[in-house]
Structures are given as structure tokens and as C-alpha cells.
Structure 1
Amino acid sequence: MSDVALVEFVETTASKFGIPGAAVGVWVDGREVFATHGVTSVANPVPVDRDTMFVLGSVSKSFTATALMRLVAEGKVELDAPVRRYVPELVLADERAAAEMTVLNLLNHTAGLGIRLIIETGDGDDALAQYVARLPELEQIAPVGARASYSQAGYNLLGRVIEKVTGLTFEKAVAQLVLDPIGLSHSRYAPAEVMTHRFAVGHNLGEDGTLAVAREWKDTRANNPGGGIASSVADQLRWARFHLGDGRTESGARVLPTGMLDRMKEQTVELQGSSLGDAFGICWFLRDVDGVRFVGHGGSSNGQFAELLTVPERNFAITVMSNAGPDDGIQFNQAVVRWALEHYLGVIDRDPEPLPFDAARAEEIVGDYEIDVMTLIIGTDDAGLTVACGIKPEVRAASEIELPPDLPAAGLGLLPDDQYIVISGGLQGQRGFFTRDERGKIVGADLAGRMFGRVQQA
């Protein structure tokens, strides 16, 4: 495969989706291939290069998990130990959950915690401690260990575990445990450190339909463990190579035992009907396509999107970063990943075909679904089922930080076994499933690993 082909595809696809700036890196056949496009900001345009730092959103969780696993390897943390061993002050809305929750439950999203708290606890070194003190405000959506449900709050709590064990701030601990040993010089959390390098800003559609700079560049400091790192495409390929390797750095220094890296890629809990994966390992989403195992994680921030995918058996990795809002950024990233998989590995990743529209099934699922901060509204139009996803108005109104825009209604297609797929719009290709109670009534809808409970009509 010609390197020029990747460059041309990225350029064409970025132009098609109106992406201001993007960076793509591929590790294949023992070599790196890069393609960059556009500018860091429409308001202050600087060309994107392989060292441009993008906000990675939830890809950040892979750094938190790896740092934690190094502490496990050093005998300072036990995966099956209760979180309270390390954070004895932990209080949750559910006392039983607070007592039973283990470190592994946080790592593989089986703690039953709600998705996140939209709060601001400042930029001081106590930001995580203050965040944890507010966790009693978070909904407990399921008993500990009952199911997987993706939680930003859970990873922020892991960040506090790291602080308590190391005696360092989370950011300094991660730098010492993984960033510096692996040589990730363009991967940092603090804006003051990032601003000395070239960095991208996010963009969302304004009211006039044109892209405007997202003024909230990244999430709060307390959300650094779950989604706050900024990194370059070159650093992300180095990070991917580390996870494809034996736990040593390129200079031969040992960071993690090989078995510890392998364990992170082993299934710990199954996921149903999710386009993100078939299972969680330790942090990583795991998915099989045509008999080939994918290991990776995606991430979103305010107007920026990132994807990191590895294929261990092929010693292959791809990372994609873009700085446009959800209607375009997600689709661009997905198109580039799928093109690379097909052209470099011969693996074709297709969305399943939805079933023909069934009015009776549609009537059964139409309604509002919610988690603590967001809603899914499933309805119908002349073309069939629709789904809209957005932040609750009261949450948006009370937020002290700028939040990403809501996603307008898009097409929804049903699949067998109470599963579904979004067939248009910014979430195109995202899959989920409906949960029924003991009477067979639909009471929840999962999307992106999160269960939205059905709102009962008065």
C-alpha cells in the first residue's frame, strides 16, 4: 500500500466532511506512516503536523489504566482490593456499593456508577479530592459487578487512587509512571505545558451553520483521569507500539511486565450490542471483526475527536485525531480507520443492515430515556425511527463550563435481539440495545456503553 494513498484519502475525506484539521498515524510492517491535513484553528490557522497536540478525550483512560497497572506490578495496588483501601474517605449515594467496589470494577466499568458529574472543582492540586467528595451526588445505576456501564466518574476516582498511593498529583504520577519513561514528550495534561507546543482547538457548528472555535478547550482538571490528556499523533503511535510490545521502552527499560500488558487485552466483561466493542479488557474495548481481534479506545472532547486502535496479531495500529464537531468529526475518524483496516490489513468493517421498519416494534420503543446528565429521545418521522441525543437543559443551564452541542435527530434502525443502529447523523454507525424488565417491557436503552433508563410517562 502506497503511503501516498493514505495521504490522498485523508485529504479527500477531510475536505468532504469539512474538517479544519486532522492528523493520522499508522504503524504497519514495522514502520510509521503519517498523514496530516488542515489547520489547528479556523480563527488562528497554523498547519497541523505530526507533533500537533489534540485533546484525546476518553483515550486518556488508557494512560490512567496503564499507570494504575504499573502500581499493581510494583505491589502497591491490588486489583481485587476495595477502593476504600486506598481512598478511605470514599462516600457514595449507595453505601453498599462504596464498601464493595474494587479497583478492577473501576477499570472495567462494572462499578455501577453513573457516567459523570458536571461540576467545577478548580485547577488546584486538590481538584480530584474535591471531586471525590462530591461523588455522593452521582447516581448508582446498578449493583457493583452486575453489568458494564461506561463511567467517566469511575476513572476520575481511579485518578484519586493513584494520587493517594503515590503521594503525587495525578498528572505528576502519570508522567513519572508512563509518559516520561516511554518518551511521550508531546503528551501532557496542563494547558500551561501544552501551550508551549503546537496544539489544536475544537470546532462546533455555530447558529449560522459555520464552524466556530469551541471556547472550552478541554475539560476540568478533575476530569483529567477520564478525559484530559492532550497528545500528538506521533506520541500516540509510540504509545500504541508500547502496548503492542513486551512492556519495555524503545531503549529497553522495563515499564510493565509483558503479562500485565497482555492482561489488559483479555476480556473481563462482555458488552452487548455496542459498536465500541464486544467486551472490556482492562480499560480497552475489545472487538472481533472477521476473526481478527481489535483492541482500542475512542475519545471525544468539545469539538475534538480521537481514535486509537491496535491489532495485536498483525502488529498494526492506527490513530486518528480531528478537530470538528460530532456531526463530522466522528464520521471522518471512522471512515479513515475503516479505510486503513481494509487497505493495509484486508479487513472490512461494515455496519449491520437494519431490519425493515416495523410500526409495532417502533411503537414499543418510542419515548424518552435518560442518564444523570443526558437524554435520548426516540421518535418517528416520515422515514421511520429517529433518535436525538443531548445534555439535559437543566444541566446545561447550571453548568459552569461550556458543554458540547446536542446532536439533532438522526435515523435509527432496528436489529435482531432488541439491538439497534444509528443510520445517519453524527452518531452514524453507533449501536446499542434495549433492556426489558421481567414482564418484557422495554425499560432502558444502552448507547456507547451507557444505560439510559426509560422515563415513565405521567
Structure 2
Amino acid sequence: MAHEELSEFVAATAARFGIPGVAVGVWADGQASYACHGVTSVDNPLPVDQNTLYELGSVTKTYTATALMRLVAEGRVELEAPVRRYVPELVLADERAAAEVTVSQLLNHTSGLDWAILVDTGQGDDALAVHVAHMAGLNLIAPPGTRASYSQAGYNLAGRVIEKVTGLTYERAVASLVLEPLGLSNSLYTTSEIMTRRFAVGHNPGEDGTLSVARGWSRWRANNPGGGLMSSVADQIRWARFHLGDGRGEGDARILPTEVLHRMRRPTVELRGTTLGDAFGICWFLRDVDGVRTVGHGGSAHGQFAELLTVPERDFAVVSLSNAGPNGIPFNQAVVRWALEHYLGVVDRDPQPLPYDPARAREVAGRYDNDAMTLVIAAGPTGMTLEVGIKPEIRAASDSEMPPDYAPAAMGLLPGDGDEYIITEGGLQGQRGFFTRDEDGVIIGIDLAGRMSKRVASA
């Protein structure tokens, strides 16, 4: 595959989606190729290159999980041990859940914890400790171990486990356990370090569609374990190569035993009807695409979007970083799909929805809430739509700019039992999810992007 062909596709696709600056990397046939296009910021533009830092969002979770697995390999943490062995002060809304939730359940999103705690606990070294103290007020969506639901709060709690076991701050511990041994010198958490490098800022559209810089591009420190790392596409390719390898790092140094590293990409819990994958490994999303197993993770934060996908059996990886919402998601998806097809001959296509059934649409129509967002499904005469918005009280309480809501976009039900769906237009195009029913068959929730929202009103 000629590098020029990759560069041409990336530039054309960035222009089509209106992304100011993108960075793409591919590892194939034993070598890395990079295609960078555009600028870091529409206000203060600098050319994007392979060392430009982007906010990784939830791709950070793969670093938290790997650091914890190194502690597991060293015998300092047991995956099936209760979290309270390491964080005895943990209090949850349900005492039984607090006593039973395990480290492994934090890592594969089966802890039962709701998505997030939206409280700024400051920039001090006690930020995570104070964050964990707020978990008593967090909703529980299910008993631990009974179902998967993506949880930022769970990964922040995992970060606190790392702090307690190592006696270091989360950031210092991850640097010593993972970043420094792997030579990831452009992967950083702290603003004072980031501001000395070339870094991208996110962008969001206004009402007229014009992009502007997303102000307040870094969230509070307690969210670092679940989404606070800034990194470059070159470092992300190096990270992918480590996970494709045998557990060795710089200078052939052993970071993880091969078996422990490979254990991270074995299924631990099946997923249903989601674009994210068919199963969770230890952190990683696992998905079979056109006959091959892919292992990956995505992330979003402050108008920046990241996607990392590997194909272990083909020693292949692709990384896509973009700095504008909402089109950063479909841009990254287009890049990943193009790379899979053109480098490996692997074709990834969206499933086709069923013909519109007004009666089925009315059954699922209504309002669904989680701790931060509201989802509204409307059933019309010829189709149904999904609107996703941040709750007004969450916007009002935020001290930084939050992304715009997703306007109503067409969606359709998928073949099968009819409880799975796909979004067919807009910034969430291609996203899949499913509806949850109670034991009487009544729809009580919707899963989108791996997160459950509970139904609060019918249409």
C-alpha cells in the first residue's frame, strides 16, 4: 500500500467531514506509515504532525488496565479480589455491592456502577481519593457481575486501586509502570508538560455549523484514569505494537509476561448489539469483522476523538485522531474501515435496518436518562429518530464548555428479536445499541455506546 494513497484518503476524508486537523497511523507489514493533515486549532493554527498531542479520552483506559495488569503480574493485585481489599474506605449506595465488587469487574465494566461522577474534586494529589468518597451517591444499574455497562466511574476507582497499592499518584504510577518503560515520551497527563509540546485542541460547531475551539479542553484530575491522557499518533502506534507483541518494551525489557498481556484480549463478558464490539476483554473491545478478530478502543473528550484498532493475527494496527465534533466519530470510523479493507482486504459494513414498523416504534418511543444525558426517541409516521442531549443541570454546573447536543437523527430496528437498533444519520451514524426489557417484557432501558440509560417516560 503506497503511503501517498493513505495520505490522499485521509486529506480528502478530513475535508469531507470538516475536521481541522487529523493524525492517522498504520502498522502493517512490519512498518509504520503516518498521514497527518490540517492544523491544531482554527484560532492558533500549527500544522499537525505525528508528534502532535491529542486528547485520547477513553483510550486512556487501556493504559490504566495495563498498569493494573502489571501489578497483577507482580502479585500485588488479585483480579478477583474485592476492591475493598485495596480501597477499604469504598462506600456505595448498596453495601452489598460495595463489599462484593471486584477489581476485574471494574476492568470489564461489569461493576454495576453508573457512568460517571460529575464532580470536580480539584487538581491536588488527593483528587482521586475525594472522587471515590463521592461514590456513595452514584447510581447502581445492576448488581456487580450481572451485566456489562460502560463506566467511567469504575475506571477512576481502578485508578485509586493503583494509587493505594503503589503509594504513588495515579499519573506517576502509570508513568513508572507503563509509559517510561515503553518510551512513550509524548504521552502525558499534566498541563504543565503538555503546554510545552505541540498539541491539538478540540472544536465544536455553533448553531450555524461554524467550528470554534472547545474551551476548557482538559477535565478535572480525578477523571485521568478513565480519560485524561494526551498522546501522539506515533506513541499510539508504539502502544499498539506493544499490545501486538510478547510483553517486552524498550531494549527488550520485560514489561508483562506474554500470557498476561494476551489475557487482556480474551473475552470476559459478551456484549450485545453494540458498535463497540462482541465482547469485553480486560478493557479492550473485541469484535469479529469479516472473519478476523479485532481488538480496540475509542475515546472522545472536548471535541477530540481517538480510535485505536489492532488485528493481532495479522500484526496490524490503525490509529486515527481528529479534533472536531460531532464528525470526529464518523471520520475515525471511515479511516479505520478504509485501512482494514485496503491493507488487509477486510470489509466492515453496517447492518441494514428492518422496514419501518410504526407499532414497534411506538413501543420503544420515549425518554431515557442516565446520570448526565437524556435520550429521546420519537416515532413519526414514516420513521423514528433519536435525540441525545446533556442534561441542562449538568451544563449549568460545568465550569467548561460542553459539546453540543446531537439533534434528532434517523434510526431503525435491526433483524432478530427487534430490540437492537442502528442510527443511520448524523454524528452518531453507524452506532448500534439495544433495548432492555423487564421480566414482564416491558422496555425499561436503552444501551448506547455501551452505557445503559433507564426509561423515565413513554411517548
- Pick the TM interval, shorter chain: over 0.9
CA shift digits 1:49-72 (9 cap, x unpaired): 000000000000000000000000
Whole-angstrom distance in 1 between the partners of 2:152 and 2:140: 13
Structure-to-structure mapping, 1:29-428, within 5 angstroms: 29-326=29-326, 328-381=327-380, 383-416=382-415, 417=417, 418-428=419-429
Whole-angstrom distance in 2 between the partners of 1:119 and 1:425: 30
Kept in 1, the 8 Å contact 2:152–2:226? The answer is yes
Deviation at 1:403, TM superposition (A): 2.1
Whole-angstrom distance in 2 between the partners of 1:400 and 1:14: 30
Whole-angstrom distance in 1 between the partners of 2:216 and 2:400: 7
Deviation at 1:323, TM superposition (A): 0.1
Per the alignment, in what secondary structure is the counterpart of residue 182 of structure 1?
coil
Kept in 1, the 8 Å contact 2:86–2:164? The answer is yes
Whole-angstrom distance in 1 between the partners of 2:218 and 2:305: 12
Please say if 1:22 is aligned against 2:54.
no
Q: Which stretch shifts more, 441-450 or 31-40?
A: 441-450
Which structure 1 residue ranges, 5 or more long, are not aligned?
none
Deviation at 1:219, TM superposition (A): 1.6
Per the alignment, in what secondary structure is the counterpart of residue 455 of structure 1?
strand
Q: Percent identity?
A: 70
CA shift digits 1:271-313 (9 cap, x unpaired): 0001100000000000001220000000000100000000000
Whole-angstrom distance in 1 between the partners of 2:111 and 2:14: 38
Whole-angstrom distance in 2 between the partners of 1:149 and 1:400: 27
Deviation at 1:381, TM superposition (A): 4.1
Kept in 1, the 8 Å contact 2:52–2:233? The answer is yes
Per the alignment, in what secondary structure is the counterpart of residue 440 of structure 1?
coil
CA shift digits 1:56-105 (9 cap, x unpaired): 00000000000000000011000000000000100011111100000000
Whole-angstrom distance in 2 between the partners of 1:78 and 1:378: 42
> RMSD between aligned alpha carbons?
1.0
Whole-angstrom distance in 1 between the partners of 2:382 and 2:259: 51
Whole-angstrom distance in 2 between the partners of 1:206 and 1:89: 44
AA partner of residue 201 (structure 2): V
Give the 3 Å change call, closer, same or farther, for CA 73–52 of structure 1 in structure 2: same
Whole-angstrom distance in 2 between the partners of 1:352 and 1:29: 30
Kept in 2, the 8 Å contact 1:308–1:317? The answer is yes
Whole-angstrom distance in 2 between the partners of 1:403 and 1:119: 14
Deviation at 1:400, TM superposition (A): 3.3
AA partner of residue 431 (structure 1): R
Whole-angstrom distance in 2 between the partners of 1:124 and 1:156: 15
Kept in 1, the 8 Å contact 2:358–2:382? The answer is no
AA partner of residue 385 (structure 2): T
The structure 1 segments of at least 4 consecutive aligned residues displaced by more than 6 Å after TM superposition are none
Whole-angstrom distance in 2 between the partners of 1:6 and 1:425: 25
AA partner of residue 346 (structure 2): V
CA shift digits 1:332-356 (9 cap, x unpaired): 1100000000000000000000000
CA shift digits 1:87-144 (9 cap, x unpaired): 0100011111100000000000000000001111111111101100101111011000
Deviation at 1:383, TM superposition (A): 4.6
CA shift digits 1:253-279 (9 cap, x unpaired): 000000011100000000000110000
Deviation at 1:379, TM superposition (A): 0.4
Partner residue in 2 for 1:432: 433
CA shift digits 1:145-172 (9 cap, x unpaired): 0100000000000000000000000000
Give the 3 Å change call, closer, same or farther, for CA 382–331 of structure 1 in structure 2: farther
Whole-angstrom distance in 2 between the partners of 1:400 and 1:195: 20
Kept in 2, the 8 Å contact 1:120–1:401? The answer is no
Deviation at 1:179, TM superposition (A): 0.1
Partner residue in 1 for 2:450: 449
Per the alignment, in what secondary structure is the counterpart of residue 105 of structure 1?
helix
Deviation at 1:426, TM superposition (A): 0.5
**If the length of structure 2 is used for normalisation, what is the TM-score?**
0.98
Deviation at 1:392, TM superposition (A): 1.1
Number of aligned residues: 457
Kept in 2, the 8 Å contact 1:119–1:399? The answer is no
CA shift digits 1:29-54 (9 cap, x unpaired): 00000000100000000000000000
Whole-angstrom distance in 2 between the partners of 1:76 and 1:287: 31
